[in-house]
Amino acid sequence: MMAAKTNPGRFFEDYAVGDVLKHAVPRTVSGGERALYHALYPARHALYSSDAFAQDCGLPKSPIDDLAAFHVIFGKTVPDVSLNAVANLGYAEGRWLLPVYEGDTLRSESEVIGLKQNSNGKTGVVYVRTRGLNQRDEVVMDYVRWVMVRKSNLDAPAPETVVPELKKALTPADLVIPEGLDFSNYDFTLAGEPHRWGDYAVGETIDHVDGVTIEEAEHMLATRLWQNTAKVHFDLTFRPEGRLIYGGHVISMARALSFNGLANAQMIVGLNGGAHANPCFAGQTVKAWSEVLDKAETAAPGVGAIRLRLVATKGGAPFELKGEDGKYKPEVLLDLDYWALMPM
Amino acid sequence: MMAAKTNPGRFFEDYAVGDVLKHAVPRTVSGGERALYHALYPARHALYSSDAFAQDCGLPKSPIDDLAAFHVIFGKTVPDVSLNAVANLGYAEGRWLLPVYEGDTLRSESEVIGLKQNSNGKTGVVYVRTRGLNQRDEVVMDYVRWVMVRKSNLDAPAPETVVPELKKALTPADLVIPEGLDFSNYDFTLAGEPHRWGDYAVGETIDHVDGVTIEEAEHMLATRLWQNTAKVHFDLTFRPEGRLIYGGHVISMARALSFNGLANAQMIVGLNGGAHANPCFAGQTVKAWSEVLDKAETAAPGVGAIRLRLVATKGGAPFELKGEDGKYKPEVLLDLDYWALMPM
Amino acid sequence: MMAAKTNPGRFFEDYAVGDVLKHAVPRTVSGGERALYHALYPARHALYSSDAFAQDCGLPKSPIDDLAAFHVIFGKTVPDVSLNAVANLGYAEGRWLLPVYEGDTLRSESEVIGLKQNSNGKTGVVYVRTRGLNQRDEVVMDYVRWVMVRKSNLDAPAPETVVPELKKALTPADLVIPEGLDFSNYDFTLAGEPHRWGDYAVGETIDHVDGVTIEEAEHMLATRLWQNTAKVHFDLTFRPEGRLIYGGHVISMARALSFNGLANAQMIVGLNGGAHANPCFAGQTVKAWSEVLDKAETAAPGVGAIRLRLVATKGGAPFELKGEDGKYKPEVLLDLDYWALMPM
């Protein structure tokens, strides 16, 4: 009887293309989440730090950090999508559609858009498109994620293979600029750096220099804050070899470190792709470097878009991503591809 | 002169039945406390996470977590009640009378309702009934707690023994349901589990499966947040063998872990009793199991009451509480008996 | 090209007397910062904990802790003032001019008021007067700080030496009392101690008894919360011998510990001076003692001013500051000289 009450998570055979999973535990965000975000990461982008700065950029006030919104939305999917996941394989087509403000309540739902059983018959890949919604049922962000999930019943028949066509990268036309955003009167001094959109060249690389050596308490505080319940992050009796750090913690750490050199890449609006190249553990020192992949103008006044590769490492030299074998170097933690908005 | 300025705490001979101790340092709570509660514990009960969910249940918005309110009220009593305590012996007759919302200011006062000097002449048991009040002088919760306190002056005469009659458990009629609470339109999907009041049987046990390995920084952050000043929790020169973790940290951790199986035991409204069976230290992994002790209907629409035993452990198998000697097993940290409200 | 994007910090030859540095990243504070402050430090001063208490003292509501406001303002100066600093030499003439409330947005600017190249030709002392401003461009605090900064170009000519005349201590007439502050109806019970201004004598010393053993995660959370980016606090690959704890963390810890004996020294309004006598590292246990240096009446009803020396230690006996050689004892971490407001 008791086994019926706790959540065993879903296995590969429990998904069908077209299923819509309504994820549990909506969350109202406040200044508390913002303060914690600033305590957990060296986050300094001015638009997410200051109401006055955000208002000077045409927003009603400072939103919750774009990645904090992502984590809140993502965390809710864990019990339904990745509790029995073997690996988090990728992200695509992530778009931030509306800023999230204090007092907003977020919930998430995911549609199964693809399934592919692996040839070993023991696992399969599940593709979901997740939407984060606010209390007015407006979609504040959506993204595609695919994970490898174990089968529980190895005798369950393989589903018809459906692999969704996903864009390698969002086009500039796919990006949604927050209503009212205007960088015409952008204050570069307050933002922290003088470099504008025109100062960055495609192919340019930036070593963000700073590093943070990660402590166990910090990544657990972060991961819980997003109500991510995967036990690999918390329970040393489950993983005596060390708690696995939530990949999103590395994303936020690297993004915050990228302030030094990209202080004006203010708002993330698109997530083209991302790979958690190697696991991260406490005691490792996370550093970051970026590469400018693309640039585009937008219709919003003074607002340019910049596509960036953000790489987090736990050692090694910057700008080294893959070995001769085409595989990520062992010191690479994260390879993220995103679009941000920057003053022109 | 200097000794006169710091607080030495009260000793057993400093208490008299009927004394009312007005505890210091009122506290205004905000979204900051709520965010920290979610960062410190894997708390996911939807009513305390989402304004929208709380409003759908008839409340004006999401309250501060019931146990967070308890900790704020409890913390204030430490300098007056337990600074010189040898042991925290028990709780009884705890009732949550009003939800606490952002912007509320809490203070505490305790009435001494019992005294019993121990036969060794060196210590005695002090019983207090503590009330937490808000800025409108409304009582938001009350509970009885008894502690063993040292005597400073061993020659002080023993007081007349007064042992209050305390209920073994609150009856359903003792429970106060928050005004307006209505679970008629309860959204089980958003809450995270389908199990309603009728799905739980008296005697049923639930292994909550998940665990958290505790870090020093986390329990200190929590304990300070509740302005609990007992130095055993903080000062390794005072306790070189290890900081003793505040018992309330274990309560909140176990309650949050119990979401997995009891996601719909939304609001704690009664504390029947509780024992901190063994001390808890950083590095230990806290897990939890529950047993259904009783059930009752209430007058509120769709709202049932469920009485639960919540046990926190640092190892061992679930559902093992005491040895053949009738004593708690060494791996049991907490044995808590409470009433919660659940959709019918 | 990439080197141009990250901030190398300023070197001694980059400063000129009269320069005004407008520091980056304004910050809106909320209840989140307050809750974190209470989680990071055992802060209990009632005026900063309770809206109701603050209102009874004539303020509109409870401000953000005075030292939290200081840290927010200070943190912004780090990238421009102390990224290449060898040592933080001193503070003077610090005044809290306006309380900071939830929703206020703080920014900082610093004027270079002194320069003195050292005889070794490799370093020099930079004196700045820093102002913290709110969203209405009101100055909420100002203070003078001087740091020893490296030269990058050793051939750069020495600037004309300008050493500002700084007051050894603010006079009572220099102190700014928050508008409306009134301690006539001060509630000593709620505040936590009965000792009023008249109960303290110049020369009196107070051992604050309590201690906190510092954890890595905690000081990093604090330092990041103030957006202080100095890598010595975070990166163990940069400082394998141990992360250096931000001096402000020690200030806040000592001030919070001083509640026990100085619970009524409610508001800090003046910073006369301060020395970080020795570096602090995780694992050390911070304790504190105070000495009453001066007392003064003020024009505000029921409000007295008290000048205090606050000393933080990592061991040793209280009340021992310097050795026979006139140097700080090795166990002294901090020697701070400040003015606070206290009920008469």
CB proximity A54 to B under 8 Å: no
Q: What 3-state class would DSSP assign to A336?
A: strand
Distance from CA of C24 to the nearest CA of B (A): 25
Residue C117 carries which side chain, given as an amino acid letter? Q
Task: Report CB contact under 8 Å: A25, B209.
Answer: no
Question: How many beta carbons lie within 10 A of that of residue B244, not counting itself?
Answer: 17
Residue-level pLDDT at C88: 87
Residue-level pLDDT at B88: 87
User: Residue A3 pLDDT more than 70?
Assistant: no
Residues of B within 8 A of C317 (CB-CB) are none
Q: Give the mean pLDDT of A297-313.
A: 98
What b/e string do you get for C1-25 counting C-beta neighbours within 10 Å, with b at 16 or more?
ebeebbbebbbbbbbebebebebbb
Nearest to C49 among B27, B221, B231 (CB): B27
Residue-level pLDDT at C167: 98
How far are the Cα atoms of B91, B150, B157 from residue B125, in angstroms, in the given order? 13, 9, 14
Q: What 3-state class would DSSP assign to C221?
A: helix
Find the closest chain B residue to A225 by CA distance: B39
Residues of B within 8 A of C208 (CB-CB) are 6
Mutate to test the interface with B, among C30, C218, C286 (most CBs of B within 10 A): C218
Positions of CATH 3.10.129.10 in chain C: 1-29+64-166, 174-344
A219: burial class by Cβ within 10 Å (0-12, 13-18, 19+)? Answer: buried
CATH 1.10.3720.10 fits B1-29+64-166, yes or no: no
Nearest to A51 among C105, C216, C236 (CB): C105
Three-state SS letters, chain B: CHHHCCCCCCCHHHCCCCCEEECCCCEECCHHHHHHHHHHCCCCCHHHCCHHHHHHCCCCCCCCCHHHHHHHHHHHHHHHHHCCEEEEEEEEEEEECCCCCCCCEEEEEEEEEEEEECCCCCEEEEEEEEEEECCCCCEEEEEEEEEEEECCCCCCCCCCCECCCCCCCCCHHHCCCCCCCCCCCCCHHHHCCCCCHHHCCCCCEEEEEEEEECCHHHHHHHHHHCCCCCHHHCCCCCCCCCCCCCHHHHHHHHHHHCHHHHCCCCEEEEEEEEECCCCCCCCCEEEEEEEEEEEEECCCCCEEEEEEEEEEECCCCCCCCECCCCCECCCEEEEEEEEEEEEC
Residue-level pLDDT at A1: 41
The CATH topology of domain A2-155+165-343 is: Thiol Ester Dehydrase; Chain A (3.10.129)
User: Residue A2 pLDDT more than 60?
Assistant: no
User: Residue C52 pLDDT more than 70?
Assistant: yes
Residue-level pLDDT at C2: 43
* Alpha-carbon span B80 to B78, nearest angstrom: 5
Residue-level pLDDT at B245: 96
Strand partners of residue A334: A276, A312
Residue-level pLDDT at B62: 98
User: Residue B1 pLDDT more than 60?
Assistant: no
Task: Report CB contact under 8 Å: A24, B46.
Answer: yes
What confidence tier does C8 reach under pLDDT thresholds 50, 70, 90? Answer: confident
CB proximity B55 to A under 8 Å: no
Residues of A within 8 A of B205 (CB-CB) are 2
pLDDT over 90 percentage in chain B: 94
Average pLDDT score over chain C = 96
Name the more confident of B6 and A180: A180
What confidence tier does B9 reach under pLDDT thresholds 50, 70, 90? Answer: confident
Task: Report CB contact under 8 Å: B36, A32.
Answer: yes
Residue-level pLDDT at A168: 96
What confidence tier does A159 reach under pLDDT thresholds 50, 70, 90? Answer: very high
Q: Spell out the alpha helix ranges (H) of chain C.
A: 31-40, 51-56, 66-77, 188-191, 216-225, 247-257, 259-262
Both structure tokens of C157: 């000519």
Positions of CATH 3.10.129.10 in chain B: 1-29+64-166, 169-344
State the CATH class of domain C174-344: alpha beta
Residue-level pLDDT at C82: 86
Q: Which chains touch A (3 or more CB pairs under 8 A)?
A: B, C
Residue-level pLDDT at C9: 87
User: Residue C213 pLDDT more than 50?
Assistant: yes
pLDDT over 90 percentage in chain C: 94
Lowest mean pLDDT across A77-81, A254-258, A299-303, C185-189: A77-81
Residue-level pLDDT at A231: 87
Task: Report CB contact under 8 Å: B39, A224.
Answer: yes
Residues of C within 8 A of A222 (CB-CB) are none
pLDDT, tens digit (0-9, with 9 covering 90-100), for C259-279: 999 999 999 999 999 999 999
Mutate to test the interface with A, among B49, B64, B290 (most CBs of A within 10 A): B49
Residue-level pLDDT at B86: 86
What confidence tier does C12 reach under pLDDT thresholds 50, 70, 90? Answer: very high
CB proximity C242 to A under 8 Å: no
Residue-level pLDDT at A4: 75
What confidence tier does A128 reach under pLDDT thresholds 50, 70, 90? Answer: very high
Q: Which of B139, B89, B113 is CA-nearest to residue B273?
A: B89
pLDDT, tens digit (0-9, with 9 covering 90-100), for C110-119: 999 999 999 9
Q: Give the mean pLDDT of C145-160.
A: 96
pLDDT, tens digit (0-9, with 9 covering 90-100), for B169-228: 999 999 999 999 999 999 999 999 999 999 999 999 999 999 999 999 999 999 999 999
Name the more confident of B343 and C87: B343
Could you give the ipTM of this predicted complex?
A: 0.95
- The CATH code belonging to domain B169-344 is 3.10.129.10
